[in-house]
Amino acid sequence: MADILIIGSGIAAYTSALELSHAGHSVYILSKEDHIGGKIADFSKDTNSCPFVENQTIAALYLGGSIHASATILSSLYLQVINNPSIKLISNSKLVSSLEKTDSFEVKIDLNKQKEISLNVEAILLAQGFEIFDPTEKGEYGYSYYKNVITSTEYEKLLFESKQSLKPLTRPSDKKKIEKIAFIQCVGSRDTTTNSEFCSSICCMYSAKEVILTKEYENKVDIAVFYLDLRECSKNFYSLTEKAQQLNARYIKSMISTVKEDPITENLSIKYLQENIIQEENFDLVVLATGVRANQDNKSLAEILKIELDEFDFIKTSPLNPTATNRKGIFTISSSEKKALEVAETMALVSTATNKINKFLSSEKIITKPRPEKENIQQNIGVFVCKNALNTLNIDDEIIKELKNIPDVSHVFIDEKICTPEKISSFQKNIEEHDLTNILIAPCTLKPALNMFRQKAAEKGINSALVDSIDIFNLYLAKNNDILKFISNTKKAITNLKNSKPLRYNAAPVIQKALIIGASFSGLIAALKLAEKNIPTIIIEKTDYIGGYVFKNKDYIFSAQENEFAANLLEKIKENEFIEIITEAKLISFKGRQGYFKCDILLKDQSIKKHECGAVIVSTGTESFIPNEYLYGKNSNILTLNDALPLINDVSFTNENKIYVFIQCVGSRDNNKPYCSRSCCLDSIKNAIKIKERNPETSIYIIAKTIQTPGQLELEYKKARKLGIIFIFYTDDKKPIIEEQNEKLSLTVFDHVLNKNIEIYSDKVILASAQIPSADAKELADILNIQADKYGFLSETHGEFHTIASPLGGIFVAGSAHEIKTVTDCISHATYIANRALRLLVKPYILLGFTTADVDTDKCAACLTCVRQCPYNVPQISRDKKEMGAAYIDPTECRGCGICTAKCPNKAISLHSYEDEKIFQMINKALEEGSYETTF
């Protein structure tokens, strides 16, 4: 397989490296930093403590994604990377030259200015991320002069330290308790003076998250957020700002020109305009929502690799091919359109990029085989103690003496940073030398290291259920460094481990076929990706056309380049022998488990088509909302944007000097549908520009709540204003009012700048109506036994890192069925989903049934309680083992939820790893806490 160079040190670089290593490649990760995590995290250089707990800044939690993201995610990736023999980390280094050969690149790397090394690689992936704007360039805010003016990243660290110490929020200058905070948005974004006319895309959201976290920690803190436009384009983001306002944060639409400090009190004074009156207010702290900049290495990389940059020095890509540069063999995970990406968007681009690289190198995924497990009658428990974790808890390593005195512990090992590659090798060696059967890692982070230790132990034949760890987070964050508590937790963990039983997987066959529900744009792209790997795929579509909303309107909303892309996609779909499209069809019945689903499809002639598949992709897309306000349907001059597209495209439509009014957010961002429909603002602006350029004398007004043009789309907004298109902003309590007056339409709207109502006489009113989930999305969710939110969008297991609809896998959500997406987002997201499905479909079998229910047929009375109670319809009554019949639970289909175990009146069903005997022993051990004496 090939050698690949990845430049970067963040979540994108690590995830890409793991993806590519799983495909059999050798990967080099080149980072200029000497810490891990890129922009999403940072680590202290203190090597005497656990690097995954004490020294991580809270920036990891919010800057890049979900409010619930945590250090464990990044730690997990890092642990997998450093312990992967196919991946080599080269830190504190940089690329200095590159020479293209026939089928490879010869690159030279400067190792910390000490020496240079040369590598031959077949592909290069750029994942270096972005830089944070330096607010010292905006001297009017006083950053670096006033100690109480800080950036959002610095505030997150301040908040984290306060929460960690359980102390009130205090400001940096004099440690005074913070009572009032001002957040200032768009610092270094949408600013011509700093060459940053684009929107940074993430600032509004991470400020909203910071507001919520602050209010949840100290509700009495008075918070004001000063903004120009709020960009709430992603799933659930509108609800974030709404929640912030519900927590009494004041959102004030005003541009802040300066911040002044009182030299005596060190309070910060801000003047702002509200309702045409200049207000002045003092704050204890000012937080600057700093925007993003292109990575400072982009220019040198562009020169070395001969790749193109855009006008803001971001790597130039095409919206239709967002991971390809202008150089063959060089790929990128960035977005010249969006500038900064959320974690979910990053993960989608990672999958798209690795897919492109694998296709470029013609590589396939490796199928791993199950490892043999050793059988041991005599238990031999080993405890591996991380000295760094003890240091984090301020516990002396003399505690080892106490650990060795715990009954049933055979061996105790202590070392520093036991999760590093060298120590993992020692870990596996000790398993073999001492013939260990059960292992406790004490203490450590709960998930990242535990999963890795289980994997490494499994390589030596130890069942994963017999490896456990003590959660350091609960011990550390509680600030209760009591040795007795640590010993108590260790004893309970040993008891649990001693009573654990090996859990067995069952090899279940995989039907290497796919079903795609919905022939939307995303569905077609996903189908093509599957078909390229020779996976037979059926697409069922309820309508009589394919391509969904996007293809239906492509002649009006696509560019020439996008239309060419769409035409090529359709041609490839129709020519591919592995793709079958069935229109006017719907799924009516569905059952099974990942790798093996049985489907009933109702066809146009009312016949039933039976289909078996290993994976299902739901790509039902969206539909257009039909307005029930603004006189729509009562006056022919009031149109939806979809109605108006063919007219706008007609040159004769705009020949006369007329007045056009676009009204945004019709049916969205309100109480019924509190989400943004993503494309409406841009579609209205582009079509308004088209009208204005065709006839400059035409008057055009766009009336909106806010304008949603993240990233480089901001330039379209700026262009519209330069052309003389007038933007007026309204609120829900002061919505526009339309009345018919003779042959004209009279529109009254409150202008917050003039602070009064204005009246506009219009020839045409164009309503930018919302995009809503497919009408049958909720019905489909019920059939597939997956979740849909209250608006009808299908829910995933984790909003930032996964788009699997079922927690147990096999069912995936692609495109706008998950949330409304742009065309560019649909391409990368559909590719990502197809790759996720391929991980399952390329395997001849999968291992299932780790934690499952088991029936004691002697106790079973065949009462049907489990059959009725199981939400997955798994239990069946069988006479194979008992003449009168007994329940049988297929371990490959059991979800391990435990409902049948709890409901069985005869206690005939037990859940593996949660047997009554084990639970009672754990309870007894917990009740004994404090009944022992330590030798200290």
For residue 505, pLDDT over 80 is answered with no
Paired strand residues for 331 = 125, 324
For residue 266, pLDDT over 90 is answered with yes
Tell me which of 59-68, 448-457, 641-650, 757-766 is least confident: 59-68
Q: What one-character-per-residue DSSP string does 224-254 give? A: EEEES-----STTHHHHHHHHHHTTPEEEE-
Given a contact cutoff of 8 angstroms between Cβ atoms, the answer to whether 625 and 770 are in contact is yes
Minimal CA–CA distance to 489: which of 410, 385, 388? 385
Paired strand residues for 150 = 287
3-state helix, strand, coil in the chain (%, to 5): 30, 25, 40
Given a contact cutoff of 8 angstroms between Cβ atoms, the answer to whether 814 and 521 are in contact is no
How confident is the model at residue 475, as a pLDDT?
60
pLDDT tens, position by position, 126-136: 988 888 889 99
Cα separation, 793 vs 613, whole angstroms: 24
Given a contact cutoff of 8 angstroms between Cβ atoms, the answer to whether 204 and 227 are in contact is yes
User: Checking DSSP bridges between strand 737-741 and strand 744-751, what pairing results, if any?
Assistant: antiparallel
pLDDT tens, position by position, 792-849: 888 776 555 556 667 668 899 888 888 888 888 888 888 888 988 998 998 898 887 7
How confident is the model at residue 271, as a pLDDT?
93
pLDDT tens, position by position, 9-23: 878 888 899 989 988
User: Any residues with CB less than 8 A from the CB of 794 and at least 6 apart, and which?
Assistant: 618, 620, 773, 777, 780, 781, 786, 787, 788, 805, 813, 817, 818
Paired strand residues for 762 = 745
User: Any residues with CB less than 8 A from the CB of 781 and at least 6 apart, and which?
Assistant: 787, 788, 794
User: Any residues with CB less than 8 A from the CB of 412 and at least 6 apart, and which?
Assistant: 382, 383, 385, 400, 403, 404
* Main-chain phi, psi angles of 187, to 5 degrees: -85, 105
How confident is the model at residue 371, as a pLDDT?
55
Cα separation, 209 vs 232, whole angstroms: 12
pLDDT tens, position by position, 513-553: 999 999 988 999 999 999 988 999 999 999 888 887 777 76
Helix-then-strand count for the chain, H and E:
26, 46
Q: Which domains does the chain have, with CATH numbers?
A: 3-129+295-361 (3.50.50.60), 135-292 (3.50.50.60), 381-498 (3.40.50), 509-621+774-846 (3.50.50.60), 625-770 (3.50.50.60), 852-911 (3.30.70.20)
Tokens of 781: 């969710």
Tell me which of 56-65, 450-459, 564-573, 853-862 is least confident: 56-65
Cα separation, 37 vs 89, whole angstroms: 13
**Side-chain half-sphere of 923: how many Cα atoms within 13 Å?**
7
* 223-240 average pLDDT score: 82
Helix (H) or strand (E) holding 637: none
Indicate the DSSP class of residue 794.
Answer: B
Question: Between 367 and 131, whose confidence is greater?
Answer: 131
Q: Which spans in 260-339 are helix H?
A: 298-305
Helix (H) or strand (E) holding 876: strand 876-878
Cα separation, 417 vs 200, whole angstroms: 38
* 219-225 average pLDDT score: 94
Where residue 366 falls among pLDDT bands split at 50, 70, 90?
A: very low
pLDDT tens, position by position, 700-737: 999 998 898 888 888 999 999 999 999 999 988 889 99
Q: CA dihedral in degrees (316, 321, 326, 329; nearest 10)? A: 120
Minimal CA–CA distance to 470: which of 489, 452, 454, 456? 489
How confident is the model at residue 41, as a pLDDT?
46
pLDDT tens, position by position, 666-708: 988 887 888 888 888 888 999 999 899 988 989 999 999 889 8
The CB density around residue 107, as the number of other CB atoms within 10 Å, is 23
For residue 161, pLDDT over 90 is answered with no
Where residue 930 falls among pLDDT bands split at 50, 70, 90?
A: very low
Paired strand residues for 909 = 855
Question: Between 919 and 849, whose confidence is greater?
Answer: 919
Q: Which spans in 515-559 are helix H?
A: 521-532, 548-552, 554-557
Q: Is 868 helix (H, G, I), strand (E, B) or coil?
A: helix
* 315-322 average pLDDT score: 83
**Side-chain half-sphere of 47: how many Cα atoms within 13 Å?**
5
pLDDT tens, position by position, 579-625: 999 999 999 999 888 899 999 999 999 999 999 999 999 999 888 88
Q: What is the overall mean pLDDT for the chain? A: 83
Minimal CA–CA distance to 212: which of 239, 174, 179, 185? 239
Cα separation, 289 vs 182, whole angstroms: 10
Indicate the DSSP class of residue 516.
Answer: E
